[in-house]
Amino acid sequence: MKIQVQQTDLARALGAVANVVSSKTTLPILSTILFEADKDSLTLSATDLDVSVVTRLSEVQVEKKGKAAVPAAKFVPFVRTLPSDPVKIQLSGEHVSVRSGKARMEEPCMAPEDFPALPKVEDAEAFEMPGPVIVEMIRNSIYAISRDETRPALQGVLWELTPKRFTMVATDGHRLARVHREVKTGVKETRKLIASSAGLQQVMRLAEAVDTVKIYLGEHQLSFEMGDTTVHTRLVEGVFPNYEQVIPKGNERRVVCDRETLAGRIRRVKISADRVTNQVRFGLDGTQLTLAASGTEGSRAEDELEVEYGGEPILIGFNHNYVEDVLKHMRGENLVIALDRPDSAAIFVPGEDAKSDVLASEDLCLLMPLRLND
Amino acid sequence: MVCDLMSFIWTVSRMNLARTQRRPIRLLDPECVERIAAGEVVERPASVVKELVENSLDAGATRILVRLKRSGLEELVVEDDGAGIPGRELPLAVERHATSKIAGSGDLMAIYSYGFRGEALAAIASVSRMTVRSRSANEDIGARIDIAGGRIEKREPDGRHRGTTIVVRDLFFNTPARKAFLRSEQSERRAVAQVITSMALAHPAVAFTLRNDDSVVIDLSAADDLETRAHAVFGAAVATHLRRFEGETEGLRVEGLVSLPTYTRGNRTGQHFLVNRRVIHDKGMSGAVYAAFRDVLPAGRFALALVFLEVGPARVDVNVHPTKAEVRFRDEGMVHELIRHSIRDALTLGRERGEVAPAPPRRGASSSEGQGEPHVTEADLLSGPTEGYDRGPAWSRRKESPTLFDDGQVAEGGTFRPQGAPVDPGMDPGMAIPTAAAGLPLFWQLHNTFILTQIRGALVIVDQHNSHERILYNEGQKALAGQAVASQQLLFPATLELNAAELATYEVHQGDLEKMAFRTEPFGGNTVLVRGIPPELRNWNDGALLRDILADLGDAGRSGSDPREAILASYACHGAIRAGEKLTLPEMQSLMDRLFATEVPYSCPHGRPTLIRLGLSELERRFGRR
């Protein structure tokens, strides 16, 4: 293998794949990036066996075709520091060398045959959507996934596709985020699958600046085609709980408040919160929302804000980390909180109309309260 | 033993009765009465030593020497520098019920001295060949008498210095039945040593020496205070694990030393109980010590404990046992509670935490530090708990840190002994706030199992599971005691199918589970619906946790142990972070903070240690720096 490529192009391509390179040494081949020089292109691949990223560079002069599995740890940072000039890469024996001007580096390679076979884009149902939209959908749902390793299904994000609607749902059993957008999915009948969060993280990272992402809904994997780069990720097996059933229909106590103001008050009051429960109590009376926290060592904090509220007084406790997560992932200046009882789920949606149909909102979050013993 | 002897005599006399003709009832001759009565006081060399040493102490001795030949079976000598007995009173001293300590029965209600019945010397004299040599302070010359089997055989002047020497030879030469009950030399010697140890702890100011044949068994010079004495008795390594306790309530005062859960023994030999400085065996008192350590030590392990109880003489009856080894309290419950509370307080950290400034970061952890700088010893770290004692513990002022564990332990690379792994007691003051110099991480997780952190002068290794167990146990305890706890409501309530036994257990304990934030309700048939769980429970595992707790509770019910205890232990064990779970920095911080907010952070509820402290001095020693 002997090629020449612009440093900027190479650094960008390496940046796309290097993120999935494993630093764990259980399988040394996974710490490499596979270089494949063909007639007039260079393909870089990396995988951690669950998620694979493949990117293709066409602006490249190939003097001699070939393959090499290059350890990423030193190669990538070295290329990043090079000036934006042409870079020459050559494989000689079991070493790969990089050259730019007088700068030169040599690294021992591994056998390219040992590199795991990469998944191909399956011949499957596929649809396209704008990069920023899918990034937003992922971002506004993935924060609610479970960290419980005994429940892999909850560690992923549920996808529900109907011909005209694309829904993502994540939950850890204490809270639930549901995001949907009107998208022509091209599916003939409703499809449900669970996407791995690791794969979605890569898509979030790579799709932001991409106009169109093409998504292939394979039997066992999802593939995301984003220009020259493709991400493959395996589907998560398991059963996702019936989330629709737990979204309450009757929460008629509606609060409308300013998102930033609420976030600021919580940031202040939580300083005194109990470190185990992280509880902040929301007390609603008239148009006052009182936030209060108390820690086990006698620390107490309180603050208030003006809100729109017309219901009966209510006192309800939440884990402030959960509330902050919700506020971080809501669009718009205001949000509507729909409550029922101190021990039943609260609904958070963006918007300023207390009477709106919160259940139809594109972004919705359910939060189970922390109930105090009476 | 007393009972054994009496029944033996009884049996023998019955056999005689059966073999011979019936004899008329008659009074026993005084000599015989004397011998039988002596059996109540004098059972073995150790009890002779106890009686004689008590006499010495009553005489105000500052130095007591005990010499044994063949563990006292052949000869036993107690020598003191006390007040002595005037020559003319000597013959009287060995008479039964002759005493200088009480004048009449009115005094019996308020006994301050050890001896009072006036029978010890007489009793011993009646079953041995005894020599008493003594000289009182205001006499020019001493006196000596020889007695055999209670009869004075010789009486002559003696050239002894002030004080008393009592030589007891051929113990039980005239009571073969009693002699037959003596144990091996080794066991008799051990018993004597135990008696002297107890007495020595009760009287730090008195020098004690015990010699057996040609070897010195105990040699304790006069000490200023209990700590110094305890140090001398138990050795340096153990002394660092001891902590002082004290307590007072109406008419009762208790003080003493206990070992932290980091030093334990497999039996109670390290426990000494003294009431008004008198060595006693009291089940109630040892029960109180046991109760104080109940949820801290594993089954079958016992802490060291020196318990000194001072009771107004009117509140205790010491005249219930021939050797005064047992006492009766007017208010036993109060004694129990006082001891338990005082010890528990000493084990508790929270008490002094507020007063002790957090450890400042040690400047520049460079290799040259420590030289010429004042060395941080455990004593510095201990200053909190010992504050308020005018007699500062001399042993804790040593310049050198003790060796905390043996070579093998460290060589295993972070694994530690399942029990009694030594932890330094003095880490608490600086513990909760690890040094945060230069923005370095405060904690480092080792193999997703141990947390490493530094405190002043030491490296601390924390076991994440054991620590979390301790935390959950204590927080659960508070919840059961009625402290309000929040319950995280579940989005997907879990339904648990229980078998009949589990369901029965559940029905009994639903209330306690509720207090601990498990919000449950029967859901028809054998199904239980779980709506809420304790917040941040990591191993909820869709209800498997609750099922485990119910199973443990069922077992506990069968074995008759306290069900609340069982709920706590089970909840702590199943709910705690496991080894192998990755923790974030804030999680580690919170774990440490919460651990040191618990009453007794040194061990998990099963008694396994939660942390190990590795002193800088120890590290320096290992790297050959000192």
Q: Is B548 on the interface with A (CB under 8 A)?
A: no
The residues facing A177 across adjacent strands are: A170, A365
Of all residues in chain B, the one with the smallest CA distance to A146 is B538
Of chain A, the percentage scoring pLDDT greater than 70 comes to 98
Higher per-residue confidence, A207 vs B139: A207
Beta carbons of B5 and B178 less than 8 angstroms apart: yes
ipTM of the complex: 0.83
Tokens matching residue B208: 């004690």
Residue B547: give the domain boundaries: 486-533+539-575
User: Which chain B residues in 434-493 lie under 8 Å from chain A, judged by CB atoms?
Assistant: 475, 484-492
B251 and B316 inside one domain:
yes
Query: Residue B443, SS3?
Result: strand
The residues facing A165 across adjacent strands are: A162, A182
Give the pLDDT confidence of A156-195 residue by residue, as tens digits: 999 999 999 999 999 999 999 999 999 999 899 999 999 9
Give the pLDDT score at B540: 80
| Amino acid identity, position A24 | K
B47 and B161 inside one domain:
yes
Contact criterion met (CB < 8 Å) for B535 and A279: yes
Q: Is A239 on the interface with B (CB under 8 A)?
A: no
Angle at B533 between CA B528 and CA B538, to 5 degrees: 120
Q: How far apart are CA A349 and CA A353, in angstroms?
A: 10
Contact criterion met (CB < 8 Å) for B489 and A343: yes
Q: Per residue, what are the HEC states of chain A?
A: CEEEEEHHHHHHHHHHHHCCCCCCCCCHHHHEEEEEECCCCEEEEEECCCEEEEEEECCEEEEECEEEEEEHHHHHHHHHHCCCCEEEEEEECCEEEEEECCEEEEEECECHHHCCCCCCCCCCEEEEEEHHHHHHHHHHHHCCCCCCCCCHHHHCEEEEEECCEEEEEEECCCEEEEEEEECCCCCCCCEEEEECHHHHHHHHHHHCCCCEEEEEECCCEEEEEECCEEEEEEECCCCCCCCHHHCCCCCCEEEEEEHHHHHHHHHHHHHHCCCCCCEEEEEEECCEEEEEEECCCCCEEEEEEECEECCCCEEEEEEHHHHHHHHHCCCCCEEEEEECCCCCCEEEEECCCCCCCHHHCCEEEEECCEEECC
Give the pLDDT score at A250: 85
Gap between the terminal Cα atoms of chain B: 55
Closest CA relative to residue B402, chosen from B201, B230, B621: B621
Name the domain boundary from B347, B380, B398: B347
Tokens matching residue B277: 């400085």
Suggest the residue from A150, A158, A174 to mutate for an interface test with chain B (most B CBs closer than 10 A). Answer: A174
User: Which chain B residues in 517-536 lie under 8 Å from chain A, judged by CB atoms?
Assistant: 517, 519, 531-532, 535-536
Q: How far apart are CA B14 and CA A34, in angstroms?
A: 102
Q: What's the structural domain count of chain B?
A: 3
| Amino acid identity, position A76 | V
Contact criterion met (CB < 8 Å) for B486 and A366: no
Tokens matching residue A330: 């809501």
Biggest CA pair distance of chain A = 79
Give the pLDDT score at A260: 94
Q: Is A371 on the interface with B (CB under 8 A)?
A: yes
Element (H, E) at B188: helix B185-202
Q: What is the dihedral of CA B581, B585, B590, B591, to 10 degrees?
A: 40
Average pLDDT of the residues in B214-236? 84
Q: How far apart are CA A354 and CA A357, in angstroms?
A: 9
Give the other-Cβ count within 10 Å of B404's Cβ: 23
pLDDT tier at B26, thresholds 50, 70, 90: low
pLDDT of B96 higher than 70: no
Whether B205 is in a domain gets the answer no
The residues facing A319 across adjacent strands are: A279
Q: How far is CA A161 from CA A181, A213, A312, B219, B365, in A?
A: 10, 16, 39, 87, 59
Give the pLDDT confidence of B545-570 residue by residue, as tens digits: 888 888 888 877 777 677 888 888 88
Whether B472 is in a domain gets the answer no
Q: How far apart are CA B371 and CA B374, in angstroms?
A: 8
Give the pLDDT score at B322: 61
Q: Which regions of B415-485 does DSSP assign to beta strands (E)? A: 443-446, 450-455, 458-463
Gap between the terminal Cα atoms of chain A: 73
Contacts of B99 (CB under 8 A, 6+ apart): B115, B116, B117, B118
Q: How far is CA A371 from CA A344, A345, B531, B576, in A?
A: 9, 11, 11, 22
Report which DSSP code applies to B362.
P
Q: How far apart are CA B518 and CA B530, in angstroms?
A: 7
B39 and B186 inside one domain:
yes
B233 and B194 inside one domain:
no
pLDDT of B163 higher than 50: yes
Whether B433 is in a domain gets the answer no
Tokens 């639930």 correspond to: A176
**Average pLDDT of chain B to the nearest whole number:** 73
Whether B105 is in a domain gets the answer yes
pLDDT tier at B40, thresholds 50, 70, 90: low
Whether B191 is in a domain gets the answer yes
Higher per-residue confidence, B421 vs A171: A171
Higher per-residue confidence, A206 vs B456: A206
B235 and B194 inside one domain:
no
B187 and B232 inside one domain:
no
B41 and B144 inside one domain:
yes
Tokens matching residue B605: 């509820």
- Closest CA–CA distance from residue B541 to any residue of chain A (Å): 7
Average pLDDT of the residues in A2-11? 95
CB contacts of A274 in chain B (<8 Å) are: 486
pLDDT tier at B119, thresholds 50, 70, 90: low
| Amino acid identity, position A168 | M
Rg (chain B; Cα; Å): 30
pLDDT tier at B538, thresholds 50, 70, 90: confident
Name the domain boundary from B301, B326, B347: B347
| Amino acid identity, position B216 | V
| Amino acid identity, position B571 | Y
Q: How far apart are CA A109 and CA A97, in angstroms?
A: 10
Whether B396 is in a domain gets the answer no
Of all residues in chain A, the one with the smallest CA distance to B478 is A296
pLDDT of B394 higher than 60: no
Q: Is A278 on the interface with B (CB under 8 A)?
A: yes
Tokens 């079958």 correspond to: B300
CB contacts of A343 in chain B (<8 Å) are: 489, 519, 531-532
Of A174, A275, A371, the CB nearest to B486: A371
pLDDT tier at B66, thresholds 50, 70, 90: very high
Handedness of CA B271, B276, B277, B278 (dihedral sign): negative
pLDDT of A30 higher than 50: yes
Tokens matching residue B239: 């002394």
Give the pLDDT confidence of B235-291 residue by residue, as tens digits: 777 777 788 888 888 878 898 888 887 777 777 778 888 888 777 777 888 888 888
Give the pLDDT score at B402: 30
B257 and B192 inside one domain:
no
Angle at B581 between CA B578 and CA B586, to 5 degrees: 110
B123 and B239 inside one domain:
no
- In chain A, what are the domains? 2-114 (3.10.150.10), 125-243 (3.10.150.10), 248-367 (3.10.150.10)
Beta carbons of A202 and A213 less than 8 angstroms apart: no
Comparing A95-104, A223-232, B477-486, the range with the smallest average pLDDT is B477-486
Of chain A, the percentage scoring pLDDT greater than 90 comes to 83
Beta carbons of B419 and B430 less than 8 angstroms apart: no
B192 and B234 inside one domain:
no
Whether B508 is in a domain gets the answer yes
Tokens matching residue B352: 């002094």
pLDDT tier at A319, thresholds 50, 70, 90: very high
Q: How far apart are CA A214 and CA A138, in angstroms?
A: 15
Average pLDDT of the residues in B215-242? 82
CB contacts of B597 in chain A (<8 Å) are: 296-297
Report which DSSP code applies to B314.
G
B184 and B239 inside one domain:
no
Q: What CATH number should be reported for the domain holding residue B244? A: 3.30.230.10
Closest CA relative to residue B113, chosen from B128, B101, B103: B101
Q: What CATH number should be reported for the domain holding residue B551? A: 3.30.1370.100
Beta carbons of A218 and A232 less than 8 angstroms apart: no
Chain centroid to CA B616: 30
Higher per-residue confidence, B261 vs A231: A231
Give the pLDDT score at A223: 95
Most confident of A213-227, B54-68, B74-88, B419-433: A213-227
Query: Residue B223, SS3?
Result: coil
pLDDT tier at A91, thresholds 50, 70, 90: very high
Give the pLDDT score at B290: 85
Of B486, B515, B531, the CB nearest to A279: B486
Beta carbons of B117 and B156 less than 8 angstroms apart: no
Whether B38 is in a domain gets the answer yes
Of all residues in chain B, the one with the smallest CA distance to A176 is B491
Give the pLDDT score at B298: 74
Of all residues in chain B, the one with the smallest CA distance to A317 is B486
Q: What is the dihedral of CA B68, B70, B71, B73, to 10 degrees?
A: -100
Most confident of A239-243, B107-111, B130-134: A239-243
Tokens matching residue A221: 């994997």
Higher per-residue confidence, B505 vs B120: B505
The residues facing B533 across adjacent strands are: B488
Q: Is A372 on the interface with B (CB under 8 A)?
A: yes
Q: What CATH number should be reported for the domain holding residue B163? A: 3.30.565.10
Q: How far apart are CA B346 and CA A37, in angstroms?
A: 73
Suggest the residue from B492, B571, B598 to mutate for an interface test with chain A (most A CBs closer than 10 A). Answer: B492
- Closest CA–CA distance from residue B491 to any residue of chain A (Å): 5
What is the DSSP track for B523-573? -STTEEEEEEE-TT-S--GGGHHHHHHHHHHHHHHHHT--HHHHHHHHHHH
Of B491, B517, B541, the CB nearest to A150: B541
B51 and B149 inside one domain:
yes
Of chain B, the percentage scoring pLDDT greater than 70 comes to 73
H-only helix segments in B42-157: 45-58, 90-93, 120-126
Give the pLDDT score at B58: 83
User: For B270, what's the count of Cα atoms within 13 Å in the CB-facing half-sphere?
Assistant: 24
Give the pLDDT confidence of A106-129 residue by residue, as tens digits: 999 999 999 999 888 878 899 999
